[in-house]
Amino acid sequence: MDVLQRMGPMTAPRDAVAPLDLCALATTGNAAMMRRRFRGWVGVLTDPDTADDLALAVYEALANVVDHAYVGRGEPGLMTLWAEASCPLLTGRDLVVTVLDEGAWRPSTGPGWRGRGLPLMRELVHATAVLPGDEGTTVQLRRRIAPHGTSTAGGRGRTAAAMA
């Protein structure tokens, strides 16, 4: 008998949540649709304020794909949203959201009326990584999310409403 057989059947815990995996053309309408789908998915995992903050951070990443990734191509390419939450831990779940494109990274050209998406994402989640590469750009957002009934009140102690 091998080790896995002795451990018992391989089943997901009762409170496991299936990952969210969406892919669409990088258009404003599709970014809005993906935001709504993400908000519905994460809304069953945490309180409404945290879910709203996370949906805003995800939308900023998607909007960056729409606005920047495929600028020189003349037509939109693909954007992918993948999100997964750990099984519940004592203090909540660990959430990882990844937004991918197949376009080209364009660094900021300096201060102006744009360029607030990445700082906003960094305020709303615990960790943000932007990984540009030859095959596109990957943005990864991480946050510990509290279960319903408790609130983590924003990524770093502030909600989006308090930041306005």
Residue 13: the pLDDT is 66
User: Beta-strand (E) ranges in the chain?
Assistant: 20-25, 78-85, 93-101, 127-133, 136-145
CA 76 to chain centre: 20
The top-scoring range by mean pLDDT among 11-15, 42-46, 72-76, 148-152 is 42-46
Higher pLDDT, 16 or 114: 16
Residue 161: the pLDDT is 38
- Structural fold of domain 19-106+121-156: Heat Shock Protein 90 (3.30.565)
Instruction: For the chain, count helices (H), then strands (E).
Output: 5, 5
Residue 158: the pLDDT is 41
Six-digit token pair at 78? 């693909």
Q: Return all residues near 163 (Cβ < 8 A) that are at least 6 apart.
A: 123, 154
Spatial distance between the Cα atoms of 128 and 139, rounded to a whole number of angstroms = 7
**Least reliable range by pLDDT among 76-80, 127-131, 153-157:** 153-157
Spatial distance between the Cα atoms of 137 and 128, rounded to a whole number of angstroms = 13
Residue 56: the pLDDT is 97
Residue 3: the pLDDT is 52
Residue 164: the pLDDT is 38
pLDDT digit string, tens, across residues 95-137? 999 999 999 877 666 555 456 788 899 999 999 999 999 899 9
Distances (CA, A) of 29 to 59, 62, 91, 159: 11, 11, 35, 26
pLDDT band for position 41 (cuts 50, 70, 90): very high
Question: Would you list the domain boundaries of the chain?
Answer: 19-106+121-156
